[in-house]
Amino acid sequence: MSAARLATVLALAWIGGCGDIAPDDRRSPDPDAAQTSDGRAGVDPQRDGEPDTGAPTGIRYLSGGGDSDGFARATVPRAFEFPADHGGHPEYRSEWWYFTGNVFGSDRRHYGFELTFFRYALADEPPPGPSAWSTNQFWMAHLAVTDTRNGRLLAEERLTRGALGLAGAEASPFRVWVEDWSVSGRLGRTDGSIVLEARGERIALDLALAPSKGVTPNGDRGLDGKGPEPGNASFYYSMPRIDVRGRITVDGREDAVSGLAWMDREWSTSALTPDLEGWDWFALQLSDGRDLMVYRLRRRDGTASPYSGGSLIDADGARRRLDVEDFVLEPLDHWYSERTGTRYPVAWRLRLPDEDLQLEVRPYVDDQELDLSVRYWEGAVSVEGRSGSGPVTGNGYLELAGY
Residues 66 and 7 sit within 8 Å (Cβ to Cβ): yes
Distance CA 351, CA 325 (A): 11
Averaged over 251-257, what is the pLDDT? 97
Mean pLDDT of the chain: 87
The band of 313, judged by pLDDT with boundaries at 50, 70 and 90, is very high
Looking at residue 392, its pLDDT comes to: 98
Residues 6+ apart with CB under 8 A from 184: 173, 174, 175, 176, 177, 194, 195, 197
The whole-number pLDDT of residue 364 equals 98
d(CA 396, CA 286): 8
Q: What is the pTM of this model?
A: 0.88
Q: Give the tens place of pLDDT for each residue, 26-82.
A: 333 343 445 644 333 333 333 334 444 456 666 554 444 445 779 999 999 999 999
Give the pLDDT confidence score for residue 11 in this predicted structure.
45
Quick check: 262 and 99 in contact, CB under 8 A?
A: yes
What pLDDT, in 10s, does the model give residues 138-193? Answer: 999 999 999 999 999 999 999 999 999 999 999 999 999 999 999 999 999 999 99
Confidence of residue 129 (pLDDT cuts 50, 70, 90): confident
At residue 56, the pLDDT reads 62
More confident residue, 383 or 54: 383
Contact status, residue 348 vs residue 361, Cβ threshold 8 Å? yes
- 163 in Cβ contact with 150 (< 8 Å): no
Q: Which of 143, 119, 286 is nearest to 207 (CA)?
A: 143
CATH class for the domain made up of 3-401: mainly beta
Q: CB-based contacts of 94: which residues, under 8 Å, 6+ apart?
A: 61, 62, 63, 118, 119, 120, 121, 267, 268, 269
